[in-house]
Amino acid sequence: MRDASDRLAANLAGLARTGRARTRRVVEAREPGGVHVRVAGRDRLAFCSNDYLGLADHPVVVDEFCRAARTWGAGSGASHLVSGHTAEHHALEEELAERVGRPRALLFSTGYMANLAIGATFVGRGDCVFEDRLNHASLLDAGLASGARFARYAHADVDALRRRLERRRPGCAALVMSDGVFSMDGTVAPLRELAAASQAAGAELCIDDAHGFGVLGANGAGCVAAAGLGTDEVPLLMCTLGKAVGTFGAFVAGPAVHIENLLQRARTYIYTTALPPAVAAATRASLRVMRDEPWRREKVLQHARRFRVEAGRLGLPLMPSDTPIQPLVLGSEAAATAASAALFDRGFWVPAIRPPTVPAGASRLRFTFSAAHGDDDVDRLLDALSSLAQQGLLAGAQGP
């Protein structure tokens, strides 16, 4: 017992020593829109939420959530395959499939579980899975847990992927998995090239559009639709509902036979409680708002564009991102943490992202924008960054 406690204490000491220990801040209150928050009794302007469209507390979404909770109760009471699959879930699946232009969609309780399901269902022992080196942890875990031979290719390097696909054993089934929008960089994967390489090699392609769904493409259908790719090119599309949609959960969309395989075989679908029906109902309302209020997409992307231009004027080399995720790489854990703390002192909440979430030496500030931000919010952030730059706190900023 003592041995185990010593080992665990040493783990924590190691994290603290390397500047990688994480802490949680308790959000005590949030104003409508969710970007003005109270933390430790102080008001802060947050640039760290994934609620890109400001829909999490949209009155229509919240009213629908409350109505459905009064109708259905607070929980679903069972897994989908027992008795937890309500009319709200079923209608939501049909609406999601239609939104992303795919034959069928299946709801999952989280994106993490959806990705694990894809890995476990479409490859196994004797098969191969290929992943971008910078994929989200849930995709990497999905590949590792699948039991297939797991290989990572250099970030966005489709030639490297092609070589790996060509070298695989003849007849070996292959799955290629990639973030659509890379969550810590904000950049979009080379989707057309990935699709062409996968198709040419007879591999299935899965794109995780957690950060593109709702924001990119017509009606917010996501980065795959924006690239003009359909089900044939990208058979497996995973999107989350806890980010731009503002609710919770995830779905996988694709051909009927793929989706039925997930439903019949994926353990992270079968052996877990279905989302509360009220979450499904709120999500349906959110999809309608997304369609009826396109200004939200335009506004968040406009904030990101203006921030890039003004940050450029301050000499800050942001990563080449056209999405609401705008990172500034500072290098060491200490540099990123110090800049984040200095911003917090000035009233802004911008997280420091450190390894293992990003590669060693690429710690960064990760700014995320929302349609709920005002132009003046962005101006205030830029003023604060200008003052940090003058104090040398952003001196380590590295270009892309």
- Where do contacts with ligand PLP occur on this chain (CB under 6 A)? 110-112, 136, 138, 179, 183, 208, 210-211, 240, 242, 250
Q: How far is the CB of 393 from ligand PLP (least distance, A)?
A: 27
CB of 114 to ligand PLP, least distance (A): 7
CB of 177 to ligand PLP, least distance (A): 10
Contact status, residue 323 vs residue 50, Cβ threshold 8 Å: no
Cβ atoms within 10 Å of 166's Cβ, excluding its own: 10
Q: Which is nearer to ligand PLP, 112 or 153 (CB)?
A: 112
Closer by beta carbon to ligand PLP, 178 or else 231: 178
Instruction: Please say whether the beta carbons of 330 and 316 come within 8 A.
Output: no
Would you say 394 and 388 are in contact if contact means Cβ atoms under 8 Å apart?
Answer: yes
Token output for 169: 């054993």
88 vs 208 by CB, closer to ligand PLP: 208
Q: How far is the CB of 118 from ligand PLP (least distance, A)?
A: 11
- Min separation Cβ 290 and ligand PLP, Å: 17
Considering the complex, what minimum distance in angstroms separates the CB of residue 183 from ligand PLP?
4
Residue 240 or 335 having the CB closest to ligand PLP = 240
User: Across the strands, what pairs with 42?
Assistant: 39
Question: Which residue number, 118 or 384, has a Cβ lying nearer to ligand PLP?
Answer: 118
CA–CA distance, 242 with 215 (Å, rounded to integer): 13
Mapped onto helix, strand or coil, the DSSP state of residue 49 is coil
Nearest approach in angstroms of CB 62 to ligand PLP is 20
User: What residues contact residue 288 under an 8 Å CB cut-off, 6+ apart?
Assistant: 60
SS3 43: strand
CA atoms 246, 250, 255, 257: torsion sign: negative
DSSP collapsed to 3 states, 110-142: CHHHHHHHHHHHHCCCCCEEEEECCCCHHHHHH
Torsion of CA 238, 243, 246, 251, to 10 degrees: 10
Give min distance, CB of 53 to ligand PLP, in A: 16
Nearest to 370 by CA among 349, 388, 387: 349
- Going by their DSSP bridges, the two strands 128-132 and 174-179 should be labelled as parallel
- Of 183 and 187, which CB lies nearer to ligand PLP in the complex structure? 183
- Of the pair 323, 363, the CB lying nearest ligand PLP is at 323
Side-chain-facing half-sphere of 111: CA atoms under 13 Å: 21
Toward ligand PLP, which CB reaches closer, 184 or 290? 184
